[in-house]
Structure 1
Amino acid sequence: MADNLSNTAENRALDFIMGLAATAPSTPLKVALVTANGSDTTAGTEVTGGSYARKNLTVAAAANGATSNSADLVWTGMPAVTVVGIEVWDNAGTPVRLWYGPLAEPRTVTAGDELRIPAAALTFSLS
Protein backbone atom coordinates (compact mmCIF):
# COMPACT_ATOMS: atom_id res chain seq x y z
CA MET A 1 0.00 0.00 0.00
CA ALA A 2 2.64 2.47 -1.09
CA ASP A 3 1.50 6.08 -1.27
CA ASN A 4 -1.73 5.36 0.58
CA LEU A 5 -1.11 7.36 3.73
CA SER A 6 -3.85 9.73 4.68
CA ASN A 7 -2.86 13.40 4.67
CA THR A 8 -2.98 13.33 8.47
CA ALA A 9 -0.55 10.40 8.62
CA GLU A 10 1.79 12.05 6.09
CA ASN A 11 1.92 15.20 8.23
CA ARG A 12 2.51 13.20 11.42
CA ALA A 13 5.29 11.15 9.78
CA LEU A 14 7.04 14.30 8.56
CA ASP A 15 6.70 15.95 11.97
CA PHE A 16 8.19 12.84 13.63
CA ILE A 17 11.10 12.55 11.16
CA MET A 18 11.87 16.27 11.45
CA GLY A 19 11.90 16.08 15.25
CA LEU A 20 8.75 18.15 15.67
CA ALA A 21 6.79 15.33 17.35
CA ALA A 22 7.97 12.59 19.66
CA THR A 23 4.84 10.48 19.93
CA ALA A 24 3.57 7.55 17.93
CA PRO A 25 -0.07 6.74 17.15
CA SER A 26 -2.21 5.25 19.92
CA THR A 27 -2.00 1.48 19.68
CA PRO A 28 -3.12 -1.09 18.92
CA LEU A 29 -3.67 -0.04 15.32
CA LYS A 30 -6.99 -1.29 13.94
CA VAL A 31 -7.86 -2.62 10.47
CA ALA A 32 -11.26 -1.61 9.10
CA LEU A 33 -12.95 -3.14 6.07
CA VAL A 34 -14.66 -0.82 3.59
CA THR A 35 -17.31 -1.22 0.90
CA ALA A 36 -16.27 2.01 -0.85
CA ASN A 37 -12.68 3.24 -0.81
CA GLY A 38 -11.73 6.59 0.64
CA SER A 39 -9.09 9.10 -0.40
CA ASP A 40 -6.26 11.03 1.25
CA THR A 41 -8.81 13.28 2.94
CA THR A 42 -12.00 11.21 3.20
CA ALA A 43 -12.60 7.87 4.91
CA GLY A 44 -14.22 5.04 2.98
CA THR A 45 -17.57 3.46 3.82
CA GLU A 46 -16.91 1.01 6.65
CA VAL A 47 -18.66 -2.36 6.86
CA THR A 48 -21.46 -2.54 9.43
CA GLY A 49 -23.63 -5.34 10.72
CA GLY A 50 -23.19 -8.96 11.63
CA SER A 51 -20.35 -9.50 14.09
CA TYR A 52 -18.08 -7.08 12.22
CA ALA A 53 -15.59 -5.10 14.29
CA ARG A 54 -12.17 -3.64 13.50
CA LYS A 55 -9.25 -6.02 14.10
CA ASN A 56 -5.93 -5.34 15.82
CA LEU A 57 -2.99 -5.05 13.42
CA THR A 58 0.39 -6.52 14.30
CA VAL A 59 3.42 -5.91 12.10
CA ALA A 60 7.07 -6.89 12.06
CA ALA A 61 9.84 -4.29 12.22
CA ALA A 62 10.28 -2.54 8.89
CA ALA A 63 13.03 -3.70 6.54
CA ASN A 64 13.98 -2.12 3.21
CA GLY A 65 11.31 0.54 3.69
CA ALA A 66 8.38 -1.85 4.14
CA THR A 67 6.53 -4.02 6.64
CA SER A 68 3.45 -6.27 6.56
CA ASN A 69 0.85 -7.79 8.83
CA SER A 70 2.53 -10.48 10.94
CA ALA A 71 -0.65 -12.39 11.79
CA ASP A 72 -3.80 -13.40 9.95
CA LEU A 73 -6.69 -10.94 10.24
CA VAL A 74 -9.95 -12.88 10.61
CA TRP A 75 -13.48 -11.50 10.69
CA THR A 76 -16.21 -14.03 11.52
CA GLY A 77 -19.97 -13.61 11.34
CA MET A 78 -19.70 -11.07 8.53
CA PRO A 79 -22.80 -9.39 7.07
CA ALA A 80 -23.62 -9.95 3.37
CA VAL A 81 -21.30 -7.41 1.75
CA THR A 82 -18.60 -6.80 -0.86
CA VAL A 83 -15.37 -5.56 0.68
CA VAL A 84 -13.28 -3.46 -1.70
CA GLY A 85 -10.55 -2.10 0.58
CA ILE A 86 -9.06 -1.64 4.03
CA GLU A 87 -8.17 1.25 6.27
CA VAL A 88 -5.82 1.38 9.25
CA TRP A 89 -6.82 3.55 12.20
CA ASP A 90 -5.09 4.33 15.47
CA ASN A 91 -6.79 3.62 18.78
CA ALA A 92 -7.12 7.18 20.14
CA GLY A 93 -10.29 8.34 21.88
CA THR A 94 -11.13 9.97 18.56
CA PRO A 95 -9.47 7.52 16.13
CA VAL A 96 -7.24 8.86 13.36
CA ARG A 97 -7.18 7.18 9.93
CA LEU A 98 -3.59 6.50 8.89
CA TRP A 99 -3.61 4.21 5.83
CA TYR A 100 -6.15 3.23 3.20
CA GLY A 101 -6.18 1.22 0.02
CA PRO A 102 -8.07 -1.14 -2.24
CA LEU A 103 -7.85 -4.91 -2.07
CA ALA A 104 -6.25 -6.52 -5.13
CA GLU A 105 -9.66 -8.13 -5.76
CA PRO A 106 -12.98 -7.24 -4.07
CA ARG A 107 -14.21 -9.97 -1.69
CA THR A 108 -17.91 -10.80 -1.56
CA VAL A 109 -19.14 -12.60 1.55
CA THR A 110 -22.58 -13.84 2.50
CA ALA A 111 -24.13 -13.35 5.93
CA GLY A 112 -22.27 -15.39 8.55
CA ASP A 113 -19.17 -15.94 6.39
CA GLU A 114 -15.59 -15.46 7.46
CA LEU A 115 -13.22 -13.04 5.75
CA ARG A 116 -9.49 -13.69 6.21
CA ILE A 117 -6.48 -11.64 5.22
CA PRO A 118 -3.44 -13.91 5.62
CA ALA A 119 -0.25 -12.82 7.36
CA ALA A 120 2.07 -10.84 5.02
CA ALA A 121 -0.84 -10.05 2.63
CA LEU A 122 -0.98 -6.37 3.62
CA THR A 123 2.27 -4.59 2.80
CA PHE A 124 2.96 -1.07 4.01
CA SER A 125 5.74 1.07 2.57
CA LEU A 126 6.86 4.65 2.34
CA SER A 127 7.78 5.41 -1.24
Structure 2
Amino acid sequence: MTNTAENRAMDWIMGLAATAPTTPLKVALVTANGSDTSAGTEVTGGSYARKNLTVAAATNGATSNSADLVWTGMPAATVVGVEVWDNAGTPVRLWYGALAASRTVAAGDELRIPAASLTFALS
Protein backbone atom coordinates (compact mmCIF):
# COMPACT_ATOMS: atom_id res chain seq x y z
CA MET A 1 0.00 0.00 0.00
CA THR A 2 1.09 3.56 -0.54
CA ASN A 3 1.44 5.88 2.44
CA THR A 4 -1.74 7.65 1.27
CA ALA A 5 -3.72 4.38 1.27
CA GLU A 6 -2.32 3.37 4.67
CA ASN A 7 -3.40 6.71 6.16
CA ARG A 8 -6.86 6.48 4.60
CA ALA A 9 -7.32 2.91 5.86
CA MET A 10 -6.24 3.88 9.36
CA ASP A 11 -8.58 6.89 9.36
CA TRP A 12 -11.48 4.65 8.27
CA ILE A 13 -10.73 1.95 10.86
CA MET A 14 -10.48 4.58 13.61
CA GLY A 15 -13.78 6.16 12.58
CA LEU A 16 -12.18 9.38 11.36
CA ALA A 17 -13.41 8.97 7.76
CA ALA A 18 -16.50 7.36 6.29
CA THR A 19 -15.59 7.51 2.63
CA ALA A 20 -14.14 4.89 0.33
CA PRO A 21 -12.02 5.45 -2.78
CA THR A 22 -13.81 6.55 -5.93
CA THR A 23 -14.52 3.42 -7.97
CA PRO A 24 -13.89 1.67 -10.22
CA LEU A 25 -10.31 1.14 -9.11
CA LYS A 26 -7.90 1.06 -12.06
CA VAL A 27 -4.80 -1.10 -12.63
CA ALA A 28 -1.84 0.60 -14.28
CA LEU A 29 1.22 -1.15 -15.69
CA VAL A 30 4.66 0.32 -14.99
CA THR A 31 8.09 0.01 -16.59
CA ALA A 32 9.84 1.29 -13.44
CA ASN A 33 8.44 0.59 -9.99
CA GLY A 34 7.43 3.38 -7.65
CA SER A 35 7.69 3.61 -3.88
CA ASP A 36 5.42 4.41 -0.93
CA THR A 37 5.56 8.08 -1.90
CA SER A 38 6.30 8.19 -5.65
CA ALA A 39 4.49 6.67 -8.62
CA GLY A 40 6.32 4.40 -11.03
CA THR A 41 6.76 5.05 -14.75
CA GLU A 42 3.47 4.11 -16.40
CA VAL A 43 3.36 2.40 -19.78
CA THR A 44 2.37 4.73 -22.63
CA GLY A 45 1.57 4.21 -26.29
CA GLY A 46 -0.16 1.59 -28.36
CA SER A 47 -3.71 0.91 -27.17
CA TYR A 48 -2.60 0.87 -23.52
CA ALA A 49 -5.09 2.19 -20.96
CA ARG A 50 -5.64 1.43 -17.28
CA LYS A 51 -8.04 -1.47 -16.64
CA ASN A 52 -10.91 -1.68 -14.14
CA LEU A 53 -10.15 -3.89 -11.15
CA THR A 54 -12.74 -6.24 -9.69
CA VAL A 55 -11.94 -8.17 -6.53
CA ALA A 56 -13.51 -10.88 -4.44
CA ALA A 57 -14.58 -10.18 -0.86
CA ALA A 58 -11.61 -10.26 1.50
CA THR A 59 -10.85 -13.41 3.49
CA ASN A 60 -8.30 -13.41 6.31
CA GLY A 61 -7.22 -9.88 5.37
CA ALA A 62 -6.53 -10.66 1.71
CA THR A 63 -8.21 -10.57 -1.69
CA SER A 64 -7.29 -10.84 -5.37
CA ASN A 65 -8.52 -9.85 -8.80
CA SER A 66 -11.70 -11.78 -9.58
CA ALA A 67 -11.43 -11.42 -13.37
CA ASP A 68 -8.60 -11.55 -15.89
CA LEU A 69 -6.97 -8.19 -16.63
CA VAL A 70 -6.17 -8.02 -20.34
CA TRP A 71 -4.32 -5.29 -22.22
CA THR A 72 -4.33 -5.64 -26.01
CA GLY A 73 -2.36 -3.64 -28.57
CA MET A 74 0.47 -3.01 -26.09
CA PRO A 75 3.44 -0.85 -27.06
CA ALA A 76 6.88 -2.47 -26.97
CA ALA A 77 7.77 -2.43 -23.26
CA THR A 78 9.11 -4.36 -20.32
CA VAL A 79 6.48 -4.29 -17.58
CA VAL A 80 7.98 -4.65 -14.11
CA GLY A 81 5.05 -3.87 -11.84
CA VAL A 82 1.49 -2.67 -11.32
CA GLU A 83 -0.19 0.18 -9.49
CA VAL A 84 -3.81 0.55 -8.39
CA TRP A 85 -5.41 3.99 -8.61
CA ASP A 86 -8.84 5.21 -7.65
CA ASN A 87 -11.06 6.93 -10.22
CA ALA A 88 -11.33 10.41 -8.63
CA GLY A 89 -11.08 13.57 -10.74
CA THR A 90 -7.47 13.68 -9.55
CA PRO A 91 -6.72 9.95 -9.16
CA VAL A 92 -5.08 8.71 -5.97
CA ARG A 93 -2.52 5.89 -6.09
CA LEU A 94 -3.41 3.26 -3.47
CA TRP A 95 -1.31 0.15 -4.12
CA TYR A 96 1.89 -0.68 -5.96
CA GLY A 97 4.08 -3.71 -6.40
CA ALA A 98 6.57 -5.51 -8.56
CA LEU A 99 5.56 -8.45 -10.71
CA ALA A 100 7.04 -11.81 -9.69
CA ALA A 101 8.80 -11.72 -13.07
CA SER A 102 9.06 -8.85 -15.54
CA ARG A 103 7.13 -9.27 -18.79
CA THR A 104 8.51 -8.03 -22.09
CA VAL A 105 5.95 -7.41 -24.82
CA ALA A 106 6.39 -6.44 -28.45
CA ALA A 107 4.28 -3.76 -30.12
CA GLY A 108 0.76 -5.12 -30.64
CA ASP A 109 1.12 -7.92 -28.07
CA GLU A 110 -1.37 -8.78 -25.34
CA LEU A 111 -0.51 -8.77 -21.65
CA ARG A 112 -2.77 -10.75 -19.33
CA ILE A 113 -2.90 -11.02 -15.55
CA PRO A 114 -5.15 -14.01 -14.85
CA ALA A 115 -7.87 -13.91 -12.19
CA ALA A 116 -6.52 -14.52 -8.66
CA SER A 117 -2.96 -13.62 -9.76
CA LEU A 118 -2.92 -10.06 -8.42
CA THR A 119 -3.16 -10.33 -4.64
CA PHE A 120 -3.69 -7.71 -1.96
CA ALA A 121 -3.21 -8.25 1.76
CA LEU A 122 -3.13 -6.34 5.03
CA SER A 123 -0.78 -7.74 7.62
Same fold (TM over 0.5): yes
1:104 matched to 2:100? The reply is yes
Aligned with 1:13 (options 9, 17, 21): 9
Quote the sequence identity (%). Answer: 88
Quick check: 1:24 aligned with 2:20? yes
Counterpart residue type for residue 66 of structure 2: S
Per-residue CA shift, 1:63-121, capped at 9, x if unaligned?
Answer: 01100000000000000000000000000000000000000000000000000000000
| Per-residue CA distance 1:20-57 (angstroms, 9 max, x = gap) | 00000000000000000000000000000000000000
Letter in 2 for 1:35: T
Match of 1:80 in 2: 76
1:61 matched to 2:57? The reply is yes
RMSD: 0.2
- Segments of 5+ residues of structure 1 without an aligned counterpart are none
Aligned residues: 123
Q: Distance in 2 between matches of 1:79 and 1:123?
A: 25
Moved over 3 A (4+): none
1:48 partner amino acid: T
Instruction: Point out where structure 2 has 5 or more consecutive residues left out of the alignment.
Output: none
The one-letter amino acid paired with 1:21 is A
Q: Which residue of 2 aligns with 1:42?
A: 38
- Per the normalisation by structure 2, the TM-score is 1.00
